[in-house]
A and B are shown apart, each in its own frame.
Chain A
């Protein structure tokens, strides 16, 4: 069964149609990229899947369940985690504290007024594991707000990962990064996909990253679905080339 099934999803802002009847099916273990020129509606599409925005029409089915009307928190509980185009972290807390909040919430402790020593030990172990995976072990006690953009992004991805998601949504994970940082984040995503068998959907502008990582690509333009296929199919698709060269798709 498909893990995520988006059916004819639309979002209207007044008279502006940001996303127009887009459908997408993601299989378990797949790494899907969503690309398109600026203003194509990629982030709006993402925001509807994660529950940040409510769709005007259409349906989102996750693991056989219709989640179209669930709050963001409830979608997280069902296994959907996301990052944002502009990194969203807890800037005045350390990396360790950032991860701790994510790990504790994922462990169902969000309302707990205490923590047993035993449980605390498990949580510490999990934090250390995540620190290692994100290459942040040496920076655990730094305030996140004082770190480089790349490290902040790594921390954000690790927080999403702390939730043990079944679907990870990454909104432009390499946006605004230098070559080295882009490379590091790309390697990290690749590891998550290959080794952890995570199902990932990502929006990305950097075509090197997209063609390097993606199993399948969905192309949006002006809110509409323009093409869908493997990286090879997309690379040779004339409509896609036209859209990216700025010509009318027709």
Chain B
């Protein structure tokens, strides 16, 4: 085994071990379990975005739309239809994925800044619907009057509402399955066509890859996982409000991906960890926490254009 492969495997094992043991080490260093849960959920959304951004080379600035649709899908299912955690996750994911699949053909011919602008525009449409349709969505006050439901596994029932560790492990399992699927896809022939599009769209086209079709598939998969993260996010808060659909939320995902390193598989998760932790600690000191996160982001982009993880990888390689 050469060193590069070894380092990659070692990094994978390390990340999985850290995630698996999170409820044990995080409180010991002054954190708390809910913080870890938020990192994993937002990390999943950022990694979903990165399937498109880092591995297909397409910048979406409107992923909050699908994240928010997932959140409302899950919240409204539990609130209005069936008090089932599993069904909420499923409905949230399907709603976001279907919305992405339908919007996809209207935008996949666009490139660069035009693509980004139109994705923002679609996200804002959903934001205003959630904001205005208050009889159903709760409008600006958010969707309240519900909580995440106990998890029925047949042989036992787990209370994920009052037991943060149990809830963390539910999130972790969902995250692990989603990440395994994404990693699998990226290592497949289909995944390599996405890299081809990122690297050189013209060459990809003249190898016989119908680029628009492949971007549409990548986009839809990315939207599906972003919605799954959104559904989990609704459970994290026991609440959904229109800010989950707002364009600044989309920007946060892009910041997480770039901060951590969009050319690294785990980069966006690292970015989410830094973002959420900074948000948590700095916002307890000052209301202007976003300016500190912004400053940190600017410094990272200036000095480590490949993100925090990209910088670490370069250090390890040399």
Residue positions of A touching B, CB distance < 8 A: 50, 52, 71-73, 76-77, 81-82, 84, 88-93, 97, 100-102, 104-106, 109-115, 156, 159, 163
Contact = CB atoms under 8 A, between A and B. Distances in A.
A159 B185 contact: no
Contacts of B204: 101
Given A73-B208, A105-B209, A110-B209, A88 B190 contact: no
Interface string B175-217: 0000000001100111011011001101111111111001001
Nearest to A102: B207
Contacts of B200: 88-91
Interface residues of B, number: 23
B203 A90 contact: yes
Nearest to A50: B206
Contacts of A92: 199
Nearest to B192: A101
Q: Which of A88, A93, A106 has the most CB of B within 10 A?
A: A88
B208 A159 contact: no
Contacts of B211: 73
A241 B34 CA distance: 80
Contact of B207 (A84, A97, A101, A109): A101
Interface of B: 184-185, 188-190, 192-193, 195-196, 199-200, 202-211, 214, 217
Given A90-B200, A110-B214, A97 B192 contact: yes
B205 A90 contact: no
Contacts of B195: 90, 93, 97, 101
Shortest 3 CB-CB contacts between residues of A and residues of B: A76-B208, A90-B199, A109-B189
B208 A88 contact: no
Nearest to A115: B189
A91 B199 contact: yes
A76 B207 CA distance: 7
Given A159-B207, A163-B208, A113 B199 contact: no
Nearest to B191: A113
A73 B203 contact: no
A163 B205 CA distance: 12
A73 B209 CA distance: 6
A104 B188 CA distance: 10
A113 B180 CA distance: 13
Q: Which of B200, B203, B210 has the most CB of A within 10 A?
A: B203
A76 B189 contact: no
Contact of A113 (B185, B208, B209, B214): B185
B11 to A, nearest CB: 20
B214 A88 contact: no
Contacts of B210: 71, 73
B190 A111 contact: yes
B203 A159 contact: yes
A159 B214 CA distance: 20
A114 B200 CA distance: 23
A175 to B, nearest CB: 17
Q: Which of A91, A100, A104 has the most CB of B within 10 A?
A: A104
B202 A101 contact: no
